[in-house]
A and B are shown apart, each in its own frame.
Chain A
Amino acid sequence: MREIKRYLKIWLRLSYNSFSAMFFTRFSAVIFLLGKILRFSFILIFLLAVFSKVPGAGGYSKEQIIIVFLIYSLIDTLSQFLFREVYRFRPKVVFGTFDKDLVKPVSPLFLSLFGGADVLDLITVVIYTLVFFIFLSSLVITPLNFSLFLLFLINGVVLAAAFHIIVLSIGILTTEVDHLIMIYRDVENLGRIPVDFYDKALRFVLTYLLPIGIMMTVPAKILFGLWNVKILGVALVVSLAFFYASLRFWGYALQKYSSASS
């Protein structure tokens, strides 16, 4: 417990520093925020326009498809808010400054993942949450489904953390982070729609190998009451296995770190 409190304190300090740094480039921050909100709004308008002509798709109603998109937006933005430091990891490995993280009395994984929260994404999280609840009000949700949904929403963020850990690990091994993180974002983008929309092979990949489906579609299905104990069990087992594998991979990558440029 004391250890958790210590890490929380460190995270708050690092986040405060990150927020302060952002205020030096206020103009850029406003533009970035505007871009994010614009993209979100436009996709929402597009979905509403498409589903004004058809009642639904792939067995999902219009409202359910929009909720899936909103859950994707929430998990994606929450993970960007929390794990923004991953986007700044490459120079640390290339120039060898990652050495400094390794000698600090804090987990280097913690610093690489949580070292610089992004205030812009915190703002968008608030906006997306409001829109989410507006659309949610059109559905009947039981307290049990909502509680399980929250649990699996957190599970989605944990899976996002696992993906980011894998990106960091490959970054140590190859120094390739920038494109890799964007490819992760594009794979994650496949979760904007329910994974049931994809063909069997792709659905398998997106459920068991790159569990985007468990990140995005399972929380939505729980919310709609389209779940059973087997689905939840499989989702939890796959999530645990994926997270554990990412930690093992991180450990392996750390052993291979050569500190080449320092």
Chain B
Amino acid sequence: MKVFKTLVKTEFYTYLAYRLNFVLWRLRNFLWLVFLYFFWKAVFQGEITLFGYTKNEIFLYILFAQVVSSFVLSTATGGIGGMINDGTLTDILLLPYSFFKIMAAKEVIDKLVNFAFSIFEIFLFILLFNPEIVGVQLTWQSVLMFIISLLLATTLYFFIALNLGFIGFWSTEVWAPRFLFMVVVWLLAGNYFPLDVLPTGLYKALNLLPFPYLVYFPVKVLLGKAEVAEVAGGVFVLFVWTLIFYGFTKFLWIKGLKVYTAQGA
């Protein structure tokens, strides 16, 4: 635990060194929030409910989705493919700590910093635009199930992101698959809108994939928009996906290390 704390602290100082980059990144997220808010505001003009959501619920959805995605989808694993390609992965392999422990420490600090900033952004947003978000009651049951689904979603995304980085063991073209993956995740995770506004067939098909469980599902649980059976089923599916990607991560790591040549190190 002490080692882990030290790793987290070191990573935090790295963030402070590149703070302008980080602030600009958060500004981008804020602009997206502004866009979504005014889009939904215009759509809801004169409408009381749409797709089973009231105007207040949809505003809360985009605010919560912003916080959840900044926690679940922020990742420090983006450079793994590059590290494998240029051989700098060796530096980490030579350290007296496990690769996964180091990556987990980086991930924790990345998520915490992004989460803290997203909370600040939400307050700033409410201050600037005063969205109508009252009238939605949060229960302790929904908050509890939200925390469980959030932690599972975070773990699942960590493993998925690691697997993407491991492409570097077999290919030098690591950025294109990551770009495609980011496009898919940002569209299908539910960052921008509740996925149940989509045509029923498409929505059902999406639920077969792990993406809706990353943002859409936790936010829906928090808003109390899911039935008990749906929550239980969703948590179970999340757990299964997490196990699958955990196994996949271990498998690719072992196979990858066998072909790793530390080229360029």
Contacts and interface: CB of A to CB of B under 8 A. Distances in A.
B198 A186 contact: no
Interface residues of A, number: 36
A182 B28 contact: yes
A28 B42 CA distance: 38
Contacts of B193: 46, 50
Given A32-B179, A197-B41, A54 B35 contact: no
A57 to B, nearest CB: 4
| Residue of B24, B39, B199 with most partner-chain A CB within 10 A | B39
A69 to B, nearest CB: 11
A180 B24 contact: yes
A53 B50 contact: yes
A198 interface: yes
Given A46-B193, A57-B45, A31 B38 contact: no
Interface in B153-189: 171, 173, 175-177, 179-180, 183-184, 187-188
Contact of A183 (B27, B175, B197): B27
B112 interface: no
Interface in B186-219: 187-188, 192-193, 197-199, 202
B198 A190 contact: no
A192 B180 contact: no
B175 A28 contact: yes
Contacts, number: 97
B198 A46 contact: yes
Contacts of B183: 35-36, 38-39
B24 A179 contact: yes
B25 interface: yes
Interface residues on B, range: 35 or more
A202 B31 CA distance: 12
B39 A45 contact: no
B58 to A, nearest CB: 11
Interface string B47-76: 100110000000000000000000000000
A51 to B, nearest CB: 8
Given A35-B179, A42-B187, A50-B197, A187 B31 contact: yes
Nearest to A34: B180
A53 B51 contact: yes
A193 B40 CA distance: 11
Given A35-B179, A35-B183, A42-B187, A186 B43 contact: no
A58 interface: yes
A189 interface: yes
Contacts of B35: 189-190, 192-193
A105 to B, nearest CB: 35
A58 B39 CA distance: 9
Contacts of A1: none
A38 B187 contact: yes
B21 A179 contact: yes
B32 interface: yes
A27 interface: yes
A176 B50 CA distance: 43
B31 A197 contact: no
Contact of B32 (A32, A38, A189, A197): A189
Contacts of B175: 28
B176 A28 contact: yes
Contacts of A190: 31, 34-35
A199 interface: yes
Give the residue among B42, B129, B198 with the most A Cβ atoms within 10 A: B42
B175 to A, nearest CB: 7
Interface string B101-134: 0000000000000000000000000000100000
A142 interface: no
6 contacts: A27-B173, A28-B176, A45-B199, A57-B39, A187-B31, A202-B34
Given A31-B173, A50-B50, A57-B45, 16 more contacts: A28-B176, A31-B179, A35-B180, A35-B183, A38-B184, A39-B183, A45-B198, A46-B193, A46-B197, A46-B198, A50-B193, A57-B43, A179-B20, A179-B25, A190-B31, A199-B129
Interface of A: 25, 27-29, 31-32, 34-36, 38-39, 42-43, 45-46, 49-50, 53-54, 57-58, 176, 179-180, 182-183, 186-187, 189-190, 192-193, 197-199, 202
